[in-house]
Chains A and B, each alone.
Chain A
């Protein structure tokens, strides 16, 4: 059983397209995190949110607590956005649960 489910698993887009990655979770959470992992492996935190919406440059993250769902949007996608995007939730007992990631490729 996966506490966090992401879709799609793989995504290919043309440069400039609007991209949406979805995340659903099944546990009670204190916060939801979106992470980015580039080829080469480094993981960085993009957003942490517990309600509403956050925006950072071309990236927007939203969360609906009632529906246990979050989305990560990328506007005007660029090849440098190519990476794996990981949804994670911090749940009860200091546990973190991670989705398996969405591999995004943006083609010039």
Chain B
């Protein structure tokens, strides 16, 4: 299906475990973004990528790792999950940077126990 998908949609894990959230888009958009959404904070940028093999930090990158070996995929890894990383994670894509709209995935609700 065309669009942007995330998996899993829901994940429960334990403190210290590694978790990878997947994001896949079918539009061949250059830019991809990872956000977390927490009550009282709104959406905050974790990492973004301008193209395959190009990634950069956002506002809250600590504890997260990203890679982009293919244009269509942008996985986000929590190397050692902490309770403070309990959040809803959204992936988004855009065909350019700020001057075009972003298309959001459905979100992944992550709970770290």
- Note all chain A residues with C-beta closer than 8 A to B90: 43
Q: Which of B68-94 contact A (CB under 8 A)?
A: 88, 90
Q: Which of A35, A41, A44, A100 is B41 in contact with, Cβ under 8 Å? A: A100
**Do A45 and B102 touch (CB < 8 A)?**
yes
**Do B44 and A94 touch (CB < 8 A)?**
no
Say which size band chain B's interface belongs to: 20 to 34
- Note all chain A residues with C-beta closer than 8 A to B106: 41-42
Give the total of A residues in contact with B, Cβ under 8 Å: 24
Task: Determine if B26 is an interface residue (Cβ-Cβ < 8 Å).
Answer: no
For the complex formed, measure the closest distance between the CB of A87 and the CB atoms of chain B, giving whole angstroms. 9
Residues of B near any A CB (own CB < 8 A) = 31, 33, 35, 40-45, 48, 50, 56, 58-59, 88, 90, 97-104, 106-107, 109
